[in-house]
Amino acid sequence: MPLSKATVIDAEQLREIQQPLKDQYRQSPETAMKTMRAAGQIDVPALACHVEDGRDPLIAGLHSAAGGDGSLACSADMLLQSLVACSGVTFAAVATAMSISIRSATVEATAQMDFRGTLGIDREASIGLFAVNLAFTIDSPADDASLAKLVSLSERYCVILQTLSAQNELKANWARL
For position 154, what pLDDT does the model report?
A: 96
Residue 160 lies in a domain: yes
For position 2, what pLDDT does the model report?
A: 64
Task: Give me the number of domains the chain comprises.
Answer: 1
Residue 29 lies in a domain: no
For position 47, what pLDDT does the model report?
A: 87
Residue 89 lies in a domain: yes
For position 37, what pLDDT does the model report?
A: 82
Domain that holds residue 100: 74-165
Instruction: Walk along the chain (177 residues) and give the pLDDT tens digit of each residue.
Output: 567 677 888 899 999 999 999 999 999 999 999 988 888 888 888 888 888 877 787 899 999 999 999 899 999 999 999 999 999 999 999 999 999 999 999 999 999 999 999 999 999 999 999 999 999 999 999 999 999 999 999 999 999 999 999 988 888 888 889
Residue 177 lies in a domain: no
Task: Locate the DSSP E strands across 45-169.
Answer: 48-51, 58-61, 73-74, 104-113, 129-139
> Whose CA is closest to 82, among 36, 137, 114?
36
Query: Distance between CA atoms of 23 and 19, rounded to whole angstroms?
Result: 6
Residue 173 lies in a domain: no
Residue 40 lies in a domain: no
Residue 133 lies in a domain: yes
Q: What CATH number should be reported for the domain holding residue 96?
A: 3.30.300.20
For position 92, what pLDDT does the model report?
A: 94
Residue 113 CB neighbour total at 10 angstroms = 19
For position 4, what pLDDT does the model report?
A: 67
Length of the chain: 177
Encode burial over 2-37: b for 16+ CB neighbours within 10 A, e otherwise: eeeeeeeeeeeeeeeeeeeeeeeeeeeeeeeeeeee
For position 114, what pLDDT does the model report?
A: 94
Residue 153 lies in a domain: yes
Partners of 110 in beta bridges: 133
Residue 144 CB neighbour total at 10 angstroms = 8
> If you ran DSSP here, which 8-state letter would residue 133 be given?
E
Residue 147, Cα to own-chain centre: how many angstroms? 21
